[in-house]
Amino acid sequence: KEKQAFFDLKIPIMKVGEASFDELKEAIILSADESELENNANVITDLSKQLDFGVILYYYNPNSQNTTDMEEYFRSLSKLYDKNIQII
């Protein structure tokens, strides 16, 4: 329920939860819109690199569209920032 509310906001969320910022270990990218995803992913990956966070992409593909271009984009980002991006 809460995840849906954050998803519907369509804005980056810096932190959610009760843990202190020092305890954060991962940056999560949550999206179902490929163009929006590409716009936000570069900034989030850069921030993750600077803060030494892991990066996890949750891509919801409700229409079962071809994701080859999106996957290639994230491989390129991964190489650019020398950062492993886990796609779920």
pLDDT of 3 strictly over 80 = no
In a domain, 67, yes or no: yes
Q: How confident is the model at residue 12 (pLDDT cuts 50, 70, 90)?
A: low
68 occurs within a structural domain: yes
Asked if residue 44 belongs to a domain, the reply is yes
Full-model pTM: 0.65
Q: What is the pLDDT of residues 16-63, one digit of tens each?
A: 677 777 788 888 887 777 777 888 888 888 888 888 889 988 877 667
Domain assignment of residue 33, given as a range: 2-13+24-87
Higher pLDDT, residue 87 or 10 = 87
| Whole-number Å distance between alpha carbons of 2 and 22 | 23
Does residue 19 lie in a domain region? no
Residue with tokens 């020092």: 22
DSSP assignment string, 8-69: HH-S-----SSS-GGG--EEEEEES-HHHHHHHHHHHHHHHHHHT-EEEEEE--TT----HH
Residue 18 is assigned to a structural domain of this protein: no
What pLDDT band is residue 76 in, cutting at 50, 70 and 90?
Answer: very high
Domain tally for the chain? 1
pLDDT at 16: 65
